[in-house]
């Protein structure tokens, strides 16, 4: 399996974490990593045959926004280019509400119409990955000009604060800093992102914790869990069962711990 990562152009850094390419052409059936619940969104451009989920073939270019555990079917040939958007930022590039994006696989044509068709033609005719990424970046910068949200509440700062402070119960503090009541904060957050702030915080905390464990290749999880705000061992075990269906030891000792979609910063 070949994996390559690319930094976005500086103008897109506030919104996009990275571009990355997966390529597997061994010919032997490969079990794709399980995708755990996340807080972000990706757009996948398949450079070969699209992969399948639950035996349903996806579009050539589509969103991927899992809020629950998702399994991609095993495949013998995988080749795709993905854009990993930071939490909540995709709203600046289109008018589709997040409630329609969560746990869905919308095609780029569903989102941008004929503009997406023209983009796909450019990607298909570009000679290398760098040229494909440049075509996508130019397209996204145009969409950003059209769709960038002007909001009275700084949701980008709120999402960033929640994601970077998973070790504490920051929901009430965050709403207070935003100058709105907690109940109003809950309603606005749910309406904007299609998920409650409490669930977002739970996913972000588990995602941050399991990412740390997987990248450090360790099964000694307790201190890491406590560092990121779990009350005790039982608390983390319960949450791990919710998000993975297994205990931490069971999950971290399987091959799932060797193949995943978590990466170090670039």
User: For each of the chain's 266 residues, which pLDDT tens digit applies?
Assistant: 789 999 999 999 999 999 999 998 877 888 888 899 999 999 999 999 999 999 999 999 999 999 999 999 988 889 999 999 999 999 999 999 988 999 999 999 999 999 999 999 999 999 999 999 999 999 999 999 999 988 888 999 999 888 888 887 678 888 888 889 999 999 999 999 999 999 999 999 999 999 999 999 888 999 999 999 999 999 999 999 999 999 999 999 876 666 788 888 88
| 123 lies in some domain | yes
What's the confidence (pLDDT) of residue 30?
A: 80
> Are 129 and 39 members of one domain?
yes
> Are 131 and 6 members of one domain?
yes
> Are 118 and 159 members of one domain?
no
What's the confidence (pLDDT) of residue 165?
A: 86
What's the confidence (pLDDT) of residue 210?
A: 94
> Are 108 and 140 members of one domain?
yes
What's the confidence (pLDDT) of residue 181?
A: 92
Domain boundary among the residues 87, 122, 147 is at 147
> Are 142 and 216 members of one domain?
no
Count of structural domains within the chain = 2
| 265 lies in some domain | no
Output the domain CATH number for residue 204.
1.10.10.60
> Are 169 and 132 members of one domain?
no
Domain boundary among the residues 121, 147, 173 is at 147
> Are 10 and 93 members of one domain?
yes
> Are 198 and 230 members of one domain?
yes
Output the domain CATH number for residue 35.
2.60.120
> Are 115 and 200 members of one domain?
no
> Are 215 and 118 members of one domain?
no
| 142 lies in some domain | yes
> Are 120 and 139 members of one domain?
yes
- Within 13 Å, how many C-alpha atoms sit on residue 189's CB side? 25
Tokens of 186: 């809950």
What's the confidence (pLDDT) of residue 92?
A: 96
Give 168-173 contacts, CB < 8 A, sequence gap 24+: 168/229, 169/201, 169/229, 170/201, 171/197, 171/198, 171/201
| 64 lies in some domain | yes
- Residue numbers of the domain that contains 184: 155-259
| 167 lies in some domain | yes
What's the confidence (pLDDT) of residue 218?
A: 87
Domain boundary among the residues 130, 147, 164 is at 147
| 264 lies in some domain | no
What's the confidence (pLDDT) of residue 179?
A: 87
């Amino acid at each position: 399996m070949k994996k390559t990562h690319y930094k976005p152009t500086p103008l897109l850094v506030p919104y996009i974490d990275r571009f990355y390419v997966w390529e597997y052409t061994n010919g032997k059936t490969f079990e794709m990593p399980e995708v755990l619940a996340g807080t972000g969104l990706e757009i996948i451009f398949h450079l070969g045959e699209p992969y399948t989920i639950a035996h349903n073939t996806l579009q050539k270019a589509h969103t991927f926004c899992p809020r629950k555990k998702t399994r991609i079917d095993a495949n013998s040939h995988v080749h795709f280019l993905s854009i990993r958007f930071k939490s909540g930022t995709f709203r600046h590039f289109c008018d589709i509400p997040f409630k329609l994006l969560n746990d869905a696989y919308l095609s780029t044509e569903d989102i941008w119409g004929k503009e997406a068709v023209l983009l796909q033609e450019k990607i298909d005719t570009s000679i290398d990955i760098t040229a494909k990424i440049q075509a996508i970046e130019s397209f996204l910068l145009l969409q950003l000009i059209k769709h960038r949200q002007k909001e009275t509440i700084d949701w980008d700062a709120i999402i960033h604060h929640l994601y970077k402070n998973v070790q504490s119960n920051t929901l009430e503090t965050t709403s207070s800093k935003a100058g709105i009541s907690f109940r109003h904060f809950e309603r606005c957050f749910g309406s904007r992102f299609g998920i409650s702030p409490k669930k977002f915080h739970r996913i972000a905390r588990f995602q941050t914790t399991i990412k740390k464990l997987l990248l450090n290749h360790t099964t000694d999880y307790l201190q890491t869990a406590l560092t990121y705000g779990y009350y005790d061992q039982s608390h983390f075990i319960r949450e791990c069962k919710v998000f993975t269906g297994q205990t931490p030891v069971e999950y971290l000792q399987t091959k799932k711990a060797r193949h995943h979609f978590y990466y170090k910063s670039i």
